[in-house]
Structure formats: C-alpha cells, structure tokens
Amino acid sequence: MGLYHSVSLAYGFEIPADTDLDTLDQVIGDGPDLLKDSVGHHVVGDYDRLLLVTRFTPVKENQVVPVIPDELASVAELAAWDSALDYTAVRLGYADHPEPRWLVIHNYR
C-alpha cells in the first residue's frame, strides 16, 4: 500500500472530525448554491481532521502559489462564503465555530 499526499489551499475552518459524513453531505447539498465555490468538506489524514471549506484549490507537485489574501477573493466573495459556511455549520449544530480563514492543507496518509 502506498502513501498519498497532497497540498491545497482553501477558505474555511475545522469542524469536529467525528461529524457524520452522510449528514454533512445532506446539509451541504441543501445549502446555498455558490456555483464553483460551493461549501464542501475535506478530510485530512485518515479521518484525523475535518474541514468545512470553499474555494478549494489543489496545488500541484512542484508548483508555487503566492498566497496574497487580497488577490485570492473579493470582499463580496468573502462575505458570501462567510455566510454560507456559517449557515452550514449552524445546521450541523456547530454555531460556535472558528472564523473562516485561508488554510494551507498538507494531507498525508
């Protein structure tokens, strides 16, 4: 069995890793439609961590991606994402969630 690793950039926050994925998928599916930047989830490791995210961007091997927050999204996009992420988290029972922020994710399993 080989190991898998990836690096990505996303906007969001961590939610409890024991969140039921079927419930999560149902809540996300009923959420606001933001087209390409809809709310989704990302599992890190072997279900060690769970992220609620939008604007998920994989970083390819040997690629350098500048992380300049003002250039990654407009104020209007951030406001829409903040609202959609909060709406989803509250529906999952996580009203007391962290503020969304840009995340660099190194996934290794």
Task: Write out pLDDT tens, residues 4-63.
Answer: 788 889 999 999 999 999 999 888 886 555 556 788 888 888 778 999 999 888 888 888
Domains of the chain: residue spans and CATH: 10-108 (3.30.70)
Q: Is the pLDDT of residue 82 over 90?
A: yes
Which pLDDT score is estimated for 6? 86
pTM of the model: 0.86
Query: What's the helix, strand, coil split of the chain in %, to 5?
Result: 30, 30, 40
* Residue position matching structure tokens 């190194």: 106
| pLDDT band per the 50, 70, 90 thresholds, residue 2 | low
The span from the CA of 85 to the CA of 79, in Å, is 10
Query: What mean pLDDT do residues 67-94 have?
Result: 92
Two structure tokens written together for 99:
């503020």
